[in-house]
């Protein structure tokens, strides 16, 4: 069965976005960081995926950037099937690429359905409101948290106050020469 993986860039103090929804704390390409780079890690990760899930805000941000991006991961990212959960959009173009599919159904039900279909894994990037709405749904199988060496003190948290505790199992840790750390956790359902 396919997995639903939430991958988020977060600060040391658990913020996934700045107060203005900005993401300037996210990693940039580091000079002389080719073998152990966050970009290479992302390229390897994208190879395991065939579907990208987004909420409307993340879709709007991504569609302005990725269709014309020149990063090494851009062609693979742009080739992923894209699904946007939104009640306000009428269409979801993606530059010269296949447009994203709009979904107006319950995200939990749709993700459960998608997990049953053949294919590679499914990723949710950004989309904090969507991720938070799915936290206790049972459809998220894994969290991949890329910890950025930044303390914001204020911003938008990934895990909000009052989130029920999930039992997570650490399945992998990676460090990158630019100071970032990836922690991968499986959601324990036992």
Q: Where are the domains of the chain?
A: 4-19+35-187
Which one, of 55, 66, 51, 175, lies nearest residue 127 by Cα?
A: 55
pTM of the full predicted structure?
Answer: 0.90
- Confidence label for 163 from pLDDT (cuts 50, 70 and 90): low
The reported pLDDT for the residue numbered 31 is 43
Within its chain, how far is the Cα of 134 from the centroid? Answer: 13
Q: Which residue has the higher pLDDT, 130 or 32?
A: 130
pLDDT in tens, 6-62: 999 899 988 888 777 767 777 654 444 445 576 778 889 999 999 999 999 999 999
In contact, 101 and 84? CB cutoff 8 Å: yes
The reported pLDDT for the residue numbered 23 is 76
CATH top class, domain 4-19+35-187: alpha beta
User: What contacts 24+ positions apart, CB below 8 Å, involve 77-83?
Assistant: 77/46, 77/52, 80/46, 80/49, 80/50, 80/51, 80/52, 81/50, 81/51, 81/52, 82/51, 82/52, 82/54, 83/51, 83/52, 83/53, 83/54, 83/110, 83/114
The reported pLDDT for the residue numbered 17 is 80
The reported pLDDT for the residue numbered 27 is 62
pLDDT in tens, 84-125: 999 999 999 999 999 999 999 999 999 999 999 999 999 999
């Amino acid at each position: 069965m396919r997995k639903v993986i939430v991958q988020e860039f977060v600060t040391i103090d658990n913020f996934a976005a700045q107060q203005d929804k900005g993401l300037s704390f996210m990693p940039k390409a580091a000079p002389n960081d080719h073998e152990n780079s966050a970009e290479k890690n992302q390229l390897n990760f994208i190879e395991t995926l065939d579907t990208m899930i987004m909420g409307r805000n993340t879709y709007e941000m991504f569609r302005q950037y990725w269709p014309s991006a020149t990063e090494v991961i851009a062609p693979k990212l742009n080739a992923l099937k894209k699904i946007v959960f939104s009640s306000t959009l009428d269409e979801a173009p993606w530059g010269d690429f296949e447009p994203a599919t709009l979904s107006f159904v319950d995200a939990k039900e749709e993700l459960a359905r998608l997990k049953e279909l053949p294919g590679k894994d499914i990723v949710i990037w950004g989309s904090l409101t969507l991720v938070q709405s799915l936290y206790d749904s049972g459809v998220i199988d894994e969290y991949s948290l890329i910890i950025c060496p930044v303390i914001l003190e204020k911003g938008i948290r990934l895990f909000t106050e009052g989130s029920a505790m999930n039992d997570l199992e650490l399945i992998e840790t990676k460090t990158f020469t630019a100071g970032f750390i990836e922690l991968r956790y499986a959601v324990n359902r036992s």
